[in-house]
Amino acid sequence: MAESREDSEALLPCHLVQLAANAAQMGDLATARQYCVRVLAGDPLYEDALLWQNVATESMAEKIRLLHKILSVNPENDRARTLLLWTESRQRRGETISTSMEVDLLRACPYLGTPGGRHARFRDPSPGNVCHAEAGERRSPRAVSEETQRDVCLATDHLACPTYTRAISIARRRASDTLYSYFDFFGLAEEPFNIVPSPRFFYPSEQHERALQLLRQVIEHRQGLALLTGQVGLGKTLLLRVLYETLASDKRYTVVFFPHSGWGSEYAMLRAMLQSVGVIPARRRSLRDLEIALEDYLVHQAFHEQKTVVLLLDEAQNMTMRLLHRVRRILDMQINERQMAQIVLAGQPRLMQMVGRSAALKDRIVANCTLSPLSPAEVRSFIQLRLRKAGSQDGIFTPGAVRAITELTNGSPRRINVLCMCCLLDAFERRLRTIDEEVVLRAANALPAQPAEETEVPTIAAGGRWARFRRWLGGLIRRRS
Tens-place pLDDT, residues 101-114: 888 889 899 999 88
pLDDT score for 53: 93
| CB-CB contact of 436 with 459 (8 Å) | no
User: What pTM does this model have?
Assistant: 0.62
| CB-CB contact of 293 with 348 (8 Å) | no
pLDDT score for 10: 55
pLDDT score for 354: 92
pLDDT score for 208: 94
DSSP 101-129: HHHHHHHS-TTEEBTTBTT---SS--TT-
Let me know if 211 is exposed, middle or buried by CB neighbors in 10 A (0-12, 13-18, 19+).
buried
CATH number belonging to the domain at 5-108+155-186, selected among 1.25.40, 1.10.12, 1.10.760, 1.10.1740 = 1.25.40
Domain 374-480 CATH assignment equals 1.10.8.60: yes
Superfamily of domain 206-370: P-loop containing nucleotide triphosphate hydrolases (3.40.50.300)
pLDDT score for 49: 92
| CB-CB contact of 129 with 153 (8 Å) | yes
pLDDT score for 230: 93
Torsion, CA 35, CA 98, CA 199, CA 77, rounded to 10:
50
* Domain residue ranges in the chain: 5-108+155-186, 206-370, 374-480
pLDDT score for 462: 35
Taking the C-alpha atoms of residue 308 and residue 264, their distance in angstroms, rounded to an integer, is 27
List pLDDT tens digits, range 147-165.
888 888 998 888 888 888 8
Residues 6+ apart with CB under 8 A from 38: 16
Taking the C-alpha atoms of residue 383 and residue 389, their distance in angstroms, rounded to an integer, is 10
pLDDT score for 454: 38
Direct distance between the N- and C-terminal alpha carbons of the chain, in angstroms, rounded to an integer: 52
The residue ranges of the chain whose pLDDT is under 50 are 1-9, 449-466, 477, 479-481
Q: Which long-range contacts (CB under 8 A, 24 or more apart) does 452-460 make?
A: 453/477, 453/478, 455/231, 455/232, 457/410, 457/412, 457/415, 458/410, 460/407, 460/408, 460/410
Taking the C-alpha atoms of residue 310 and residue 340, their distance in angstroms, rounded to an integer, is 9
Residue 247 three-state SS: helix
DSSP state of 158: G
pLDDT score for 464: 46
How many other CB atoms are found less than 10 A from the CB of residue 24? 27
pLDDT score for 209: 93
Nearest to 132 by CA among 81, 52, 82, 78: 78
How many other CB atoms are found less than 10 A from the CB of residue 242? 20
